[in-house]
């Protein structure tokens, strides 16, 4: 029996939740650009400009932070969309 898409996305969502917890330096449930940029070193030295561009694609509501809903949407898009212009890709 094939796993349902929900089951297949549970592991990436758990990883995204852990990532949020590690990156949320002030425990407000949100990630600002200043907390997001140090990830570039943790994930292999992605250039800061690329990280800034990714942050601005991922944050959709204009409040200047990433929240759990935006992160979850990006995870779903990354694993389910082949559109290179989708923010999660």
**Domain annotation covers residue 41:** yes
Report, in angstroms and rounded to the nearest whole number, the Rg of the chain calculated over CA atoms: 13
Residue 86 lies in a domain: no
At residue 13, the pLDDT reads 67
Q: Which long-range contacts (CB under 8 A, 24 or more apart) does 35-42 make?
A: 36/66
pLDDT cut 90: percent of the chain above it: 17
Under a CB-based contact definition with an 8 Å cutoff, are residues 71 and 35 in contact? no
- Kindly state the DSSP code that residue 40 receives in the 8-state scheme: H
Q: List, for residues 15-45, the tens digit of each pLDDT value.
A: 777 778 888 888 898 999 998 888 767 777 7
Please indicate, yes or no, if residue 88 is contained in any of the structural domains. Answer: no
Instruction: Give the number of domains in the chain.
Output: 1
The answer on pLDDT for 14 being more than 70 is yes
Range of the domain at 41: 5-80
CATH of the domain at 25: 1.10.238.10
34 inside domain? yes
List Cβ<8 Å contacts ≥24 apart for 80-88. 80/5, 80/9, 87/57, 87/58, 87/60, 88/58
Task: Count the Cβ atoms, other than its own, within 10 Å of residue 24.
Answer: 18
Q: Which pLDDT value is given to residue 89?
A: 80
Residue 70 resides in a domain: yes
Confidence at residue 8, expressed as pLDDT on a 0 to 100 scale = 57
Whether residue 47 lies inside any domain: the answer is yes
* 63: pLDDT strictly greater than 90: yes
pTM of the model: 0.75
């Amino acid at each position: 029996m094939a796993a349902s898409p929900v089951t297949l996305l549970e592991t990436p969502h758990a990883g995204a939740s852990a990532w949020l917890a590690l990156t949320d330096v002030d425990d407000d449930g949100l990630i600002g650009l200043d907390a997001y940029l140090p990830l570039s070193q943790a994930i292999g030295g992605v250039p800061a400009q690329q990280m800034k561009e990714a942050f601005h694609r991922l944050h959709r509501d204009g409040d200047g932070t990433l929240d759990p809903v935006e992160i979850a949407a990006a995870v779903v898009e990354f694993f389910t969309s082949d559109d290179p212009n989708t923010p999660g890709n």
